[in-house]
Amino acid sequence: MKKFLLSLSLFAMTLMASAQGPTLKARSIYDVNQDDKVTVQDVPALANKLLGKTDDKTAVDTQSLLSVLNNLADQYAILVSQYGKILSELADLKAKVGSCTCSGGGSGKANLIDGTFSVSSTKKVQFTKGNLWWDGSAYHFEANQTDYPTSWNANHVGHFFWTSSKDYLSGKTSYMPYAQSCDYSSRSNIDKFFCGEENPLTVDGTSGCFALSNDEWGYLIYTRANASSLRKYGVTVSGKVNCLIIAPDGFSSTLKSSYTLDEVNSLGLVCLPAAGSRNGSSLDRAEYGAGYWSSTLIGSLNNALYFEFYSSNVDSNVAFSCSYGFSVRLVRLAQ
């Protein structure tokens, strides 16, 4: 474009210098050909080309040529203006995308693991990038997939009771999933988990987050295509032992017994740490195994199903008291 402007400027200068008569005298200017090399042409030939004339010897009227040049200049000015507007709009869009952490379709993706995971024949989800925790006033995701609390802290609770949405919304302290102790007076078999799909959470700007049902955990671990090759327990991740690794649909590499956290993240793998469990304010079994709540309530209505794993085993159909604290790893519907 710069060479074209140089050609146009030199052409105009030559034209004005020769504007003493009705015809244009032969002058030399610089023009750029398709091979990006500078060549010399005479003014009449270039002028006739611009005016659409086929006879290079035809005299060119100076005013007509000036009109053509002015038209070209106007068109160029319009293009420059439009190009500037496009650049400005792109800059605004980049700034909006770069700062987007809010909820809604497709937003909040910074908290999600790349890749999708089938949890039924018709449903795919994305996992969040860390276990859920409570700071005393709001929920958050742990900074890393391997992070979890190792002692009781009311301002960093990472092992939750199975509390129904009804109990949770009642506001009673003893019903809170992050409480130090709990007292369930009555339940019904239609109670829904406080963070089940029927009552999703918005966490750190990511909306629609929920816990899988027992059937969905089972489908993910045992039923989806190539399920046995897409899971591995007893894995060490950046020094954290006995983690469970779950690979996304279509993952073709063989899972290893040891990874760095960066490798896990770059491969789009889910890493569930062996975070242990909680009984009241006492935490135990960390680095030995872990339980992760499902959203499914069963039996006496004081028990729910959870998903557990150890160094040599994984089981997605275990019932236990709702007043026991297990980890929660949320998902969101794939978009």
For 7-50, write each residue's pLDDT tens digit. Answer: 444 444 444 444 444 433 333 333 444 444 434 445 555 555 55
pLDDT tens-digit series, residues 216-241: 999 999 999 999 999 999 999 999 99
Same domain, 71 and 218: no
* The predicted structure's pLDDT at residue 169: 81
Domain count, the chain: 2
Choice among 96-105, 176-185, 325-334 with the minimum mean pLDDT:
96-105
Token reading at 164: 């129904």
* The predicted structure's pLDDT at residue 296: 94
Side-chain-side CA neighbours of residue 240 (13 Å): 24
Q: Average pLDDT, stretch 316-335? A: 94
| Residue 101's pLDDT band (cuts 50, 70, 90) | very low
* The predicted structure's pLDDT at residue 185: 60
Side-chain-side CA neighbours of residue 242 (13 Å): 17
Same domain, 195 and 215: yes
Strands 289-298 and 231-237: unpaired
Domain-ending residue, one of 98, 130, 145: 98
Flag whether 305 is in a domain: yes
What is the DSSP code string of 155-173?
Answer: TSB-SB---BHHHHHHT-G
Q: Which residues span the domain enclosing 21?
A: 2-98
Same domain, 121 and 54: no
Same domain, 132 and 196: yes
pLDDT tens-digit series, residues 278-304: 999 999 999 999 999 999 988 666 889
Q: State what percent of residues in the chain have pLDDT above 70.
A: 72
Same domain, 188 and 215: yes
pLDDT tens-digit series, residues 195-224: 999 999 999 999 999 999 999 999 999 999
Choice among 173-182, 235-244, 302-311 with the minimum mean pLDDT:
173-182
Flag whether 174 is in a domain: yes
Flag whether 103 is in a domain: no
* The predicted structure's pLDDT at residue 45: 58
Flag whether 302 is in a domain: yes
pTM here? 0.69
Same domain, 162 and 226: yes
Q: State what percent of residues in the chain have pLDDT above 90.
A: 55
Domain-ending residue, one of 43, 65, 98: 98
Same domain, 257 and 324: yes
Flag whether 104 is in a domain: no
Residue 153 in this model has a pLDDT that exceeds 60: yes
Same domain, 63 and 207: no
Domain-ending residue, one of 40, 74, 98: 98
Same domain, 88 and 135: no
Residue 335 in this model has a pLDDT that exceeds 80: yes
Q: Is 262 exposed, middle or buried (0-12, 13-18, 19+ CB in 10 A)?
A: exposed
Residue 99 in this model has a pLDDT that exceeds 50: no
Residue 68 phi/psi, 5-degree rounding, is -65, -45
Flag whether 299 is in a domain: yes
Same domain, 86 and 116: no
Residue 267 in this model has a pLDDT that exceeds 90: yes
Of 217 and 58, more confident: 217
Q: Is 117 exposed, middle or buried (0-12, 13-18, 19+ CB in 10 A)?
A: buried
At 131 the three-state DSSP class reads: coil
Same domain, 58 and 149: no
Same domain, 297 and 151: yes
At 206 the three-state DSSP class reads: strand
